[in-house]
Chain A
């Protein structure tokens, strides 16, 4: 599989009154062609900011991307001017985004037809009538009944799930190579979530598109992603194939995340274990491992060393931890 998007050492900062927030601190990852990759982590760990940085959509001020490379189609997107024509020709046409809040992510005063059609008019040079015709097709593709009669409706005339379908249609409009879905179903109820994720998965497969799925829901990534990046405090702490990570987590944070998810294959009376403590303040980060204060497996070395880099622990699996967690966990079980 060829690499579609290759991000190297991405660094994004936010200047706030309290200080500089290192929201993304040296993140590297890649997305292959036709692959679904999950980004997991709790709120504020930098997973969304990472994706927005790829698109150079970080509001500036207060945010700025201070380093890194984003290779796509043989070009480093970060070399492009933030809202310059080259960057704009990538947005929406080659990489598109599906945002979290379907209630606020659609423009309340423009019709659905307008909002789906405009990127096609822009990137595919369709005229208004053709764009509208294709918008209707897209709308029925994402499962909105009577698409023809609903195309001229406004967002407030749709329910949350329907609006998110519209967002998906917008994301697909120009047949992009990569779709970045930033918590696409978080704001929706559970049944709608499942239906929409299936829809996204099917459409991505049908159009041979890659998908970056940002979520804090481990169940979602387990089901849909082929690979996972686990993020904590602006860094990737573990990366690898989904099965591998669920079966053999190698970072204490991943272990903690998995322990607080109920599983069908475990006894019903088994307690869920939350991760103690709070995520660190990204303004005053100590040089050590960011997870150290909450870590149950820490050793002496952790407190004395600079934070551990992401190192391979298996063929495609890597983790940023000094502890040989697999050995430790086995000892625990005995």
Chain B
């Protein structure tokens, strides 16, 4: 939230300040540029952290690769050659700089296991993960927010109680468990949906979407529930505000009160939750893709970590970090749209 200031009142007004009224495009542009510069620093720190963290893990990628590829019997000299080939014999700082230099040129490194550039594979899988993420986010907004509003407006009714109960369950259910149950019910018993896997859209659109249904449900469940809860509680709070009473005193009907006067105020905390959910969905892709055997970035990360495949782990985490940073910037911009008290300065 740094860089955002919330002006509660500005009683004094000079002709110069008038420019601050409303959202000026140039303000936002400057703000975005500054946030992007900050983001670069964040990403640099993340890259150092990931680089060191993966190397702190027990095990040696060269040995692991050698054992897994049935190449046992290599002489120490040959192992050293291999190590040299991947630059793993250099001092850590130098290894890091080598990698960073490559990243800046779009080269995320070469996998010890597949002996191919990891960037190509990551960017092949990225759209799959992002597609699931976007559908999940869309589902969360389309279901979570309206359900929360209905629940708040009909507070205390059976609908509200149902929403509260279901959303409590929703935020507590483990995704991997839900995935297995869904497969059992909808694939094995009812045979409505394929059990798992992924088909590209261009190959078979029908199959593509059928296979996405359960993964999207799993990866959005938490955020649907979290958004419903947040929307409900913030709408309840807003509906008790003085300005809502003012709106009633003008003779407006309930719909105008809810959608014009309450919703925009109520959405401000919801946007925060949405940002957290988006990050959750990105992180949750590891589990969902593993459960449903989807060849996305998340599953790639899981196998890379267990193989100590440095280049993949570093590359994927860097991309996840960049995504999260981008989501944060986006969220901050949306705040400014929702709350005129927020100024980009």
Q: Is A bound to B?
A: yes
* Chain A interfacial positions (CB closer than 8 Å to B): 55, 57, 59, 83, 85, 88-93, 96-97, 99, 101, 104-110, 118-119, 122-123, 149, 152-154, 156-160, 162, 167, 170
How many Å from the CB of A86 to the closest CB on chain B?
10
B72 at the interface (CB under 8 A from A): no
Task: Determine the distance from Cα of A89 to Cα of B253 in the docked complex, in whole angstroms.
Answer: 10
Which positions in B face A, CB cutoff 8 Å? 7-11, 13, 18, 21-22, 240-243, 245-254, 256, 260-261, 264-265, 338-341
A149 / chain B contacts, CB cutoff of 8 Å:
18
Most buried by A among B8, B242, B341: B242
Contact A96 B340 (CB under 8 A): no
Chain B residue at minimal CB-CB distance from A102: B242
Q: Which of A118, A119, A162, A167 contacts B11 (CB 8 A)?
A: A162
A107 touches B11 (CB 8 A): no
| A83-B254, A154-B340 known; A57-B242 Cβ under 8 A | no
Residues of A within 8 A of B247 (CB): 107
On whether the beta carbons of B250 and A170 are closer than 8 Å, the reply is yes
Tell me the smallest distance from the CB of B179 to a CB of chain A, in Å. 40
| Option from A57, A108, A158, A160 in Cβ contact (under 8 Å) with B243 | A108
Question: What are 13 A-B residue pairs whose CB atoms fall within 8 Å in the complex?
Answer: A55-B249, A88-B251, A89-B251, A92-B250, A97-B249, A99-B245, A99-B249, A106-B246, A107-B246, A109-B339, A109-B340, A156-B341, A157-B9
Known: A109-B338, A110-B260. A157 touches B251 (CB 8 A): no
Contact between chains at B340 and A83 (CB < 8 Å):
no
Q: State whether A88 touches B253 (Cβ < 8 A).
A: yes
Question: Do A105 and B245 form a contact, CB below 8 Å, given A88-B253, A170-B250?
Answer: yes
Q: Is the CB of B246 within 8 A of A157?
A: no
Kindly provide the distance from the CB of A152 to the nearest chain B CB, expressed in whole angstroms.
7
Distance A59 CA – B242 CA, assembled complex (angstroms): 11
Q: A106-B243, A108-B339 are in contact. Are A123 and B10 (CB under 8 A)?
A: no
| Nearest CB of B to A327, in Å | 45
Contact A105-B265, Cβ < 8 Å, known A57-B249, A97-B249, A162-B11: no
| B261 engages A107 (CB within 8 Å) | yes
A118, B250: Cβ atoms under 8 Å?
Answer: yes
Are the CB atoms of A57 and B245 closer together than 8 Å? Answer: yes
| Smallest beta-carbon distance B317→chain A, Å | 38
Q: Evaluate whether A105 and B11 lie within 8 angstroms (CB atoms) in the complex, with A83-B254, A88-B251 already known.
A: no
Min CB distance B6 to A, Å, is 9
Known: A83-B253, A91-B251. A107 touches B243 (CB 8 A): yes
Q: How far is the CB of B240 from chain A (nearest CB, A)?
A: 8
Complex CA–CA separation, A220 to B292 (angstroms): 73
| Complex Cα spacing A110 to B71, Å | 70
In the complex, the answer to whether B251 meets A90 with C-beta atoms within 8 Å is yes
For A104, give the chain B residue with the smallest CB separation: B242
Chain A: CB-nearest residue to B156: A61
Known: A90-B251, A108-B243, A122-B251. A158 touches B338 (CB 8 A): no
Contact B21 A159 (CB under 8 A): no
Best-surrounded residue of A57, A107, A122 (most CB of chain B within 10 A)? A107
Which of B21, B243, B251 counts the most A-chain CB atoms under 10 A from its CB?
B251
Contact A104:B250 (CB < 8 A) given known A110-B261, A156-B10: no
